[in-house]
Amino acid sequence: MNDSVVLNTDTVERGAMAEWVRRFEQVWRKGQDELENMLRLLSPSVQLSAPGLPAARGRDAARRVFRLSFRALPRLHARVNAWSASRDLLFVDMTFSTELSTGHFEWPNIDRFRFEQGVAVERVAFHDPTPVQAALREATTDSHRNATRPEHNAGNLFPACGTESNPSR
């Protein structure tokens, strides 16, 4: 891969990998409000894979998977800790965080992006989904417990978050 990557697949704007990573972090810092900008960093035929979530191919499927995640974790954000690129691969070390009814929750993640002709065509997330799923179950249980109290009748704030994993990972 040369030094130029596509920063926006709608406009085909190109720039340095460091700028791509900066935009990636910027959209994750704002979370679900920046979903469309996240998708613009990726190929229209992008393939996404993450533990505990259905695999996605294409922007519409990616949008559905991201919305599923944000529905379960509406305050989901991430920060980039470090990144490294070599040839057509980019590795991003990041920390996801969210607020659950049980408190603040974080987990480490590595995203591996594969680029073709400067366009991000594949993203594979690597993290252990077990603590995330356990925290969601605990928060859901806590939410149900609190829903019976009149001062906290919010119902189930964290519906099931697509528990089928991609079997090829």
Phi, psi for 144 (deg, rounded to 5): -65, -40
- Note the pLDDT tens digit of each residue in 1-29: 557 999 999 999 999 999 999 999 999 99
Whether residue 70 contacts residue 76, with contact meaning beta carbons closer than 8 Å, is answered with yes
What the block records as the tokens of 21 is 């990573």
Question: Stretch 52-78: mean pLDDT, rounded?
Answer: 94
Q: For residues 70 and 141, give the distance between their C-alpha atoms in angstroms, rounded to a whole number.
A: 19
Residue 107 has pLDDT above 60, yes or no: yes
Q: Kindly report the number of other CB atoms within 10 A of residue 17's CB atom.
A: 20
Q: For residues 110 and 80, give the distance between their C-alpha atoms in angstroms, rounded to a whole number.
A: 10
What is the rounded end-to-end Cα distance, in angstroms, of the chain?
25
CATH code assigned to 4-152: 3.10.450.50
* Contacts of 137 by beta carbon, 8 Å cutoff, 6+ apart: none
Whether residue 114 contacts residue 107, with contact meaning beta carbons closer than 8 Å, is answered with no
Q: Which of 120, 136, 140, 114 is nearest to 53 (CA)?
A: 136
Question: Stretch 99-112: mean pLDDT, rounded?
Answer: 93
- Note the pLDDT tens digit of each residue in 112-146: 999 999 999 999 999 999 988 888 888 777 555 55
- Note the pLDDT tens digit of each residue in 21-50: 999 999 999 999 999 999 999 999 999 999
Q: For residues 52 and 21, give the distance between their C-alpha atoms in angstroms, rounded to a whole number.
A: 24
Please classify residue 102 by burial: count the beta carbons closer than 10 Å to its beta carbon, then call 0-12 exposed, 13-18 middle and 19+ buried: middle
pLDDT above 90 covers a percentage of the chain that reads 69
Mean pLDDT of the chain: 85
Question: Stretch 46-69: mean pLDDT, rounded?
Answer: 95
- Note the pLDDT tens digit of each residue in 66-83: 999 999 898 999 999 999
